[in-house]
A = this chain, B = another copy of it.
């Protein structure tokens, strides 16, 4: 067997580990539980052991391993230092150095959303682009910025954490982060439900949504089926999504914005919905920006972790 790279995506309950060849072809994937107890002290040793077992089973020598890449749910700077990862129980320490001393294998580490952006840029919806943003529209809004092919990590790993960019002066509800009017408050799966509840409460128009538990999926499905009020809700959602992305794009001037996360399953209609407000709010020098949908799903983090190793 020729050279391999391990790509690791650490989640709050499960660690996903993939073995890839040096061209980024996936050879094997498996999972182990994330042991978050004892301040998460077992997480990296568990990963190191699991990788070693795989190497033993497949008769892979250490010198065939180009490196290990790890994405974690917390801010990680360009040196591989994580600055507190609450969900893992972690404080501040250098993940790369710790993992290297556990395995003797070169390790690169990054924030999970950032690493996912690198994955989509390499093998997914952003393939062929070097200035790209991935925005993940889930329970919250996450993101990653690729500038000239490299991750923008920021000084303490919060670079590309675009969910808490201020985009709305009129929002009176407080964001989980403590601020008001964050991108995440309006453009997440939670955000569209909030928008829906407001519009439903304000109007007497009939809507199939009045008889349902309102969710992002229901709203988009009802809009697609012709429900006028649901369409009004998705339009409003698109307005906020476009406005927020315009603000971010005016800072970094990407060639492409890739939409990922649960809400992105609504598909290409999202791009149609966000375009008018994107064009309205984006600086004209950055307005000529393309949009696409993420394609790697939950594998994006592993691919990006591998890419992080190969870029070093």
Q: A: which residues have CB within 8 A of B?
A: 75, 78, 83, 129-131, 145, 147-148, 150, 152-162, 164-166, 168-170, 177-179, 182, 243, 246-248, 250-255, 280-281, 283-286, 288-289
Contact = CB atoms under 8 A, between A and B. Distances in A.
15 contacts: A78-B148, A147-B147, A148-B152, A150-B150, A152-B252, A154-B252, A155-B289, A156-B286, A157-B285, A158-B285, A159-B251, A164-B250, A164-B285, A179-B281, A182-B283
A161 B280 contact: no
Nearest to A150: B148
A165 B225 CA distance: 36
A296 to B, nearest CB: 22
A250 B285 contact: no
Contact of A166 (B145, B160, B281): B281
A177 B147 contact: no
Nearest to A166: B281
A240 B271 CA distance: 31
B284 A253 contact: no
B169 A283 contact: no
Contacts of A250: 161-162, 164-166
Contacts of A162: 250-251
A187 B30 CA distance: 52
Contacts of A284: 164, 177-179
B161 A253 contact: yes
A165 B283 contact: yes
B178 A253 contact: no
Contacts of A150: 148, 150
Contacts of A164: 250, 283-285
Contacts of A170: 169
Contacts of A145: 251-252
A293 B166 CA distance: 25
